[in-house]
């Protein structure tokens, strides 16, 4: 009988196969301290990513010759399984790159980072960025990047329809939708297939309506509300009016096969410029503020460097985190990865870029969504109900009530 490999063995095998990009000194011998960091392909170009961390480690070790740093690059796939099992086997890294919805999962294994950052750095983060890495009043990660999902429109489509103004509110979008439909265009796209995250589809509408997924104490769901019904009703108006491609409610084809790629969609809020540039042309991408109803807000993630409680030398790990997220290093990392700075004092990183430069302006209007241990589980029961409402199988009220009834027991 063939023996099954243990989960820990798989994690360790992944660790052994990770791409080692930077290492200095003698591996911690001779009284040296050592720090190991796990990160993922944030910079898409593998060569540039390796070069960045090699250069950063060398510069750090010039200032800290008694600290060896080893950076390992893992694939995005199965990263949670590999990290969780490595931590369980006391084989985890000292520092790891995490995004906000991972923080609750590992909160018991995380060493709060505030004491390793100076006060000027902590006060320089955008308030929404600091909030995104804070749980129970403790700052769990040192932010190194942020993203922005604002409203993005296809100028070519607007010109074809003869529409000279762009939407800023829900009502604007609904008012101009019939004009686009009459000319054979969709006013927007709603990606309702269950493979999509609600962070990019329904949640922005919920937040814009003034609602939220959870109550302020995180102990109950809050989407079954007037704001939730308003958000879902708005999405249903787009679907029922024939203003979006209904096939996207139950399928997720490659973007090349969608009406977005065919220049048949006016505006989207769930895609990034790099997703559409080759189809629309950079000159036709119009970046606008997030749509507004009761509030003006949109999704954006935050990437941060997190110290684990199992770190062999927390002082050394803290020095590395402070350096790797310092202003100069962070700006270099962000521009190489086409992300944005989480700090106010940085100024524009993309002043000469008409697309990223515009998108960058809305960093302060983003949210990462709920920082709640059961956030992904709740999304799993809410998404099918949202889809059912959009397919006309349930009313908005019925869908949200059913989702709330299924979600509440998950919170304990």
The conformation of residue 205, written as its DSSP 8-state character, comes to H
Q: Is the pLDDT of residue 4 over 60?
A: no
Q: Which of 143, 113, 119, 139 is nearest to 308 (CA)?
A: 113
Per-residue pLDDT averaged across 74-86, rounded? 93
Measured CA to CA, the distance from residue 330 to residue 144 in angstroms comes to 6
pLDDT band at 88 (very low <50, low <70, confident <90, very high): very high
Asked whether the beta carbons of 371 and 132 are under 8 A apart, the reply is: yes
Q: What band does 15 get if pLDDT is binned at 50, 70 and 90?
A: very low
| Mean pLDDT confidence for 105-132 | 96
Output the pLDDT for position 16.
47
Q: Across the strands, what pairs with 71? A: 22, 37
Provide the pLDDT for residue 7: 41
What phi and psi, each to the nearest 5 degrees, are found at residue 191?
-90, 90
| Tens digit of each residue's pLDDT (9 = 90 or more) over 316-365 | 999 999 999 999 999 999 999 999 999 999 989 999 999 999 999 999 99
Does pLDDT of 17 surpass 90?
no
The share of the chain scoring above pLDDT 70, in percent, equals 93
Asked whether residue 410 carries a pLDDT value surpassing 80, the answer given is: yes
CA nearest to 153, candidates 40, 313, 26, 266: 266
- The mean pLDDT value for 123-149 works out to 95
Tally of helices (H runs) and strands (E runs) in the chain? 16, 14
- What distance in Å separates the CA atoms of residue 150 and residue 362, rounded to the nearest whole number? 7
Least confident of 19-33, 90-104, 105-119, 344-358: 19-33
What pLDDT does 19 receive?
73
Q: Give me the mean pLDDT over the 240-259 stretch.
A: 97
Correct CATH for 158-299+374-411 of 3.20.20.140, 2.60.120.10, 3.30.750.24, 3.40.190.10? 3.40.190.10
Structure token pair of residue 126? 């955008």
pLDDT band (50, 70, 90) for residue 255:
very high
Numbered ranges of CATH 3.40.190.10 in the chain: 7-148+301-367, 158-299+374-411
Model pLDDT for residues 265-296, shown as the tens digit of each residue: 999 999 999 999 999 999 999 999 999 999 99
Q: Are 310 and 155 in contact, with CB atoms under 8 Å apart?
A: no
Tell me which fold the domain 7-148+301-367 belongs to. D-Maltodextrin-Binding Protein; domain 2 (3.40.190)
Res 23: pLDDT: 66
Q: Give tens-digit pLDDT for 165-194.
A: 999 999 999 999 999 999 999 999 999 999
Residue 10 has pLDDT above 80, yes or no: no
Element (H, E) at 137: none
Query: For position 3, what pLDDT does the model report?
Result: 35
- Full-model pTM: 0.87
pLDDT, position 26: 41
Residue 11 has pLDDT above 70, yes or no: no
Alpha-carbon gap, residue 300 to 146, rounded angstroms: 7
Taking 60 as the threshold, does the pLDDT of residue 14 lie above it? no
pLDDT in tens, 215-246: 988 899 999 999 999 999 999 999 999 999 99
Mean pLDDT of the chain: 92
3 state DSSP class of 342:
coil
């Amino acid at each position: 009988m063939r023996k099954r490999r243990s989960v820990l063995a798989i994690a360790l095998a992944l660790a052994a196969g990770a791409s080692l990009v930077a290492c200095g000194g003698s591996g911690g011998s001779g009284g040296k301290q050592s720090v190991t960091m796990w990160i993922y392909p944030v910079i898409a170009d593998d060569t540039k990513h390796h070069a960045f961390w090699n250069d950063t480690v060398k510069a750090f070790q010039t200032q800290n010759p008694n600290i060896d740093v080893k950076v390992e690059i893992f694939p995005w796939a199965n990263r949670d399984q590999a990290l969780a099992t490595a931590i369980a086997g006391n084989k985890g890294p000292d520092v790891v790159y995490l995004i906000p919805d991972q923080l609750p999962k590992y909160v018991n294994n995380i060493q709060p980072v505030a004491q390793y950052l100076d006060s000027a750095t902590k006060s320089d983060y955008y308030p929404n960025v600091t909030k995104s890495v804070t749980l129970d009043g403790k700052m769990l990660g040192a932010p190194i990047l942020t993203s922005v999902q604002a409203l993005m429109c296809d100028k070519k489509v607007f010109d074809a329809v003869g529409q000279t103004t762009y939407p800023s509110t829900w009502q604007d979008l609904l008012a101009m939708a019939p004009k686009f439909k009459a000319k054979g265009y969709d006013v927007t796209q709603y990606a309702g297939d269950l493979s999509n995250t609600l962070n990019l589809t329904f949640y922005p509408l919920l937040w814009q309506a003034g609602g939220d997924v959870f109550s302020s104490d995180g102990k109950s769901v809050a989407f079954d509300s007037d704001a939730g019904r308003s958000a879902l009703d708005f999405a249903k108006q787009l679907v029922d009016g024939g203003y979006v491609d209904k096939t996207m409610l139950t399928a997720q084809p490659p973007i090349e096969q969608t009406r977005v790629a065919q220049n048949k969609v006016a505006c989207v809020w769930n895609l990034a410029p790099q997703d559409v540039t080759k189809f629309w042309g950079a000159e036709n991408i119009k970046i606008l503020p997030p749509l507004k109803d009761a509030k003006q807000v949109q999704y954006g993630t935050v990437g941060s460097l997190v110290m684990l409680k199992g770190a062999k030398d927390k002082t050394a790990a803290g020095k590395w985190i402070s350096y790797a997220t310092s202003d100069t290093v962070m700006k270099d990392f962000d521009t190489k990865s086409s992300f944005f700075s989480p700090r106010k004092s940085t100024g524009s990183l993309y002043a000469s870029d008409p697309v990223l430069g515009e998108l960058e302006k809305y960093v302060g209007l983003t949210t990462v969504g709920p920082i709640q241990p059961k956030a992904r589980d709740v999304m799993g029961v809410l998404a099918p109900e949202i889809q059912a409402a959009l397919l006309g199988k349930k009313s908005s009220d019925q869908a949200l009530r059913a989702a709330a009834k299924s979600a509440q027991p998950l919170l304990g």
